[in-house]
Structure 1
Amino acid sequence: MRKTLRVAAYAVVVRDGQLLLARSPVPGGPSEWVMPGGGMEHGEDPYDTVRREVEEETGYLIEVTGLLGVNSFRRTLPARRLGRPADHHGVQLVYEGRIAGGELRNEVGGSTELAAWHPLDAVPGLVHVPMVDIALDLWRERPAAGRVTPAPD
C-alpha cells in the first residue's frame, strides 16, 4: 500500500463570540463548514501557510497569536482512478489568530465556497468536519502538551 503524508495549518479566529469558518462543497452531499486553513506547500513554513490559507479562503489578513496544538490522524484512503489505496497520515497544526486587516469575502476558484462568522454556541448545530471540534477544544483547553486527548473508543 502506498503511503501519503499531508501537513496542514489552520486558524481559530474568534471575535465578539463568533468563530470564523469557511464552507467546503462536498460532491453528492451537503457542504461542510471547515476551519480556515489548508495544506502546506513544499518548502513553506506552517506559520506562512496558515496566514496564506486564511487570506485565500476568507479575505482576512491575520496575525498569528499562538500555536494551540497539533492533531495527527491516520486512515486508509480508497483507491483513486487506476491507483491503489493509500495509508494516509495527516498532521494538522492549529494556530490562534486575530484579524489584522482585509475584508470578509468568499474564495473564488478554490476549495471553499463561502466564508462566514458563526456564534460559538451555534457551531455544534452546523454540518462541519471533525477538525472544527478539535480546533475549538484546543482553543478552549489550551493543553500544555499541545494536543487534545482523544475520547476512548
Structure 2
Amino acid sequence: MEIKHCASCGGVMESRDMDGFPRKACPDCGYVHWGNYSVGVGALVLRENKLLLVRRAQEPGKGFWTNPGGYMEQTETIEETVCREVREEAGIEAQVRRIVGLRDQPRSIHNVYIAFAMDYISGEPRPDMTEVDAAGFYSRDEMETMHVAPFTRWLAQMAFEPSGSGLRTDDAPLAAEKGYLLYRI
C-alpha cells in the first residue's frame, strides 16, 4: 500500500530521492516515511530437555507447531515482548537468558525476528485458545512426528545444541540511558 497522506499533519505526501531511495515525504511538515517494518520475537524455553511449543490456531501457520512468539507493541522492550508472548500463548513464566538467533525477512512489511533462549521459571503449559490451541514441552524425538514449522525446527536446533555465548543484556553499559536495553557478547 502506498502512503498518500502524512502521518504527522495529514498533508499530501510527495516522492523524494533520499540516499538513493525513493521516499514519501511531506512538503508541509518535513515528515519522512522511511518504510514499513515489524519486529517479531520468539522464545526457546527448555524444561527437562524438552522445548516449549504451541500449535497455531489461526493463520499464518494454522496447524503448525511453533515456539511461542509474536510482535512488539510500540512501548515495550523486546524482552518484555517475549516474556508477555510466552505467558499469553502458553501460560508459562520465563526469563530471558540471551539472544540466539535473528531472521531478516525483507518484504512489503520488512520483518526482523529475534529468537531468545529463555529460562523456565514456572507454570504448566495452557494454550490461550485464540492464537494457539495446544501447548506443551516436547523432546527432539517427539518433535520428529509432529507438524513443526520449518523455521521452528531451525530454532529448535539452537535450543537443543547451543553454541557460542549469544548476545546478553548488558546490565552495566557505559552508555546507559533510560528507556532502552543494550546487548553484547
Q: Which has the higher contact order (CA 8 A, sep 6+)?
A: 1
From the two aligned structures, give the one with the greater helix fraction.
Answer: 1
Checking the alignment, whether the CA contact within 8 Å between 1:67 and 1:96 is kept in structure 2 is yes
2:45 is matched with which residue: 13, 23, 30? 13
- Rate the CA distance shift 1:88–1:103 in 2: closer, same or farther, 3 A: same
1:41 aligns with 73
Deviation at 1:26, TM superposition (A): 4.6
Gap regions ≥5 residues in structure 2: 3-34, 168-185
TM-score (norm 1): 0.74
2:87 aligns with 55
Checking the alignment, whether the CA contact within 8 Å between 1:23 and 1:34 is kept in structure 2 is yes
Gap regions ≥5 residues in structure 1: 76-86, 147-153
Letter of the 2:116 partner, please give it.
Y
1:128 is matched with which residue: 117, 141, 148? 148
1:137 is matched with which residue: 148, 157, 161? 157
1:115 aligns with 135
Whole-Å Cα distance in 1 between the matches of residues 87 and 149 of structure 2?
20
Letter of the 1:24 partner, please give it.
R
Other structure's SS at 2:135 match: strand
Identity of aligned residues (%): 27
1:69-117, Cα deviation, whole Å (9 max, x unpaired): 2111234xxxxxxxxxxx2322111111122123321214x31111112
- Rate the CA distance shift 1:134–1:74 in 2: closer, same or farther, 3 A: farther
Q: Would you say how many aligned residue pairs link Structure 1 and Structure 2?
A: 133
Question: What is the RMSD computed on CA atoms of the aligned residues?
Answer: 2.4
Higher Cα Rg, which structure? 2
From the two aligned structures, give the one with the greater strand fraction.
Answer: 1
TM-score (norm 2): 0.62
